[in-house]
Amino acid sequence: MIKTLKDMESMVEGCLAFAKQEVQEEKSEIINLVETLSNLAGEYPGIAFSTSLGAHKYLCRPVSLRRAIRNVFENAVHYGTGARVTVDSDGHGVSIEIVDEGPGVPDGMLEDIFEPFFRVDEGRNTETGNVGLGLSIARTIVHKHGGTIRAANVPNGLKMRIWLPGQVNSP
């Protein structure tokens, strides 16, 4: 059993190293951030997307950023019955908020959910492919973009807030 655990630990370290390397090696590009986020939200039934921003250009590593956002969206629809995504800019960066309609997370575990292999309910079925790496990978990618990702309980759900630095510019 100890050998299996060591093998699993090695596998996780490899996955996280891959995610970090992927972000570092991916070339930055200018994307239409609003369109990208709207398209990603459209891939998930039950996610409502809104923003007061028009089409905006944003310099990022697009494949990695989409991967991070997908991981958060997948958690929102898996553990909640629906979710709202809003995007805004404060002049210093962009804020992406994902609020799901689910059970939330015990307050003492809000930081733990970003750790590899952490699952709120240890009895959850891992046969679905969920082993607790999605939010850890999302955090790694967001941090490599110079941003932050935070979780907070809200009435009837969980809010994930991703903040990415840099100007969001109109085309």
* C-alpha–C-alpha distance, residues 160 and 95, integer Å: 10
Residue 164 pLDDT > 80 = yes
Q: According to the model, what pLDDT value does residue 19 have?
A: 60
Separation between Cα atoms, residue 115 and residue 67, nearest integer Å? 17
Hey, which residues does 86 pair with through a beta bridge? 50, 97
Which of 5-14, 67-76, 107-116, 123-132: highest mean pLDDT?
Answer: 67-76
Give pLDDT tens digits for 28-54: 899 999 999 999 999 998 899 999 887
Of residues 92 and 25, more confidence is placed in 92
DSSP class per residue in 68-130: HHHHHHHHHHHHSS-EEEEEEE-SSEEEEEEEE-S----GGGTTGGGSTT--SSTTS-GGGS-
pTM for this model (two decimals): 0.81
Asked if the model's pLDDT at residue 11 lies above 90, the reply is: no
**Token pair for 87:** 């995007």
Give the residue with greater pLDDT, 9 vs 138: 138
More confident: 36 or 168: 36
The CB density around residue 134, as the number of other CB atoms within 10 Å, is 21
Q: What is the pLDDT of residues 52-111, one digit of tens each?
A: 887 778 899 999 999 999 999 999 998 888 899 999 988 788 999 999 999 899 999 999
Supply 23's token pair.
Answer: 């972000």
Tell which residue, 171, 79, 54, 61, has the closest CA to residue 132: 79
Q: Are 67 and 73 in contact (CB under 8 A)?
A: no
Beta carbons within 10 angstroms of residue 70's beta carbon: 16
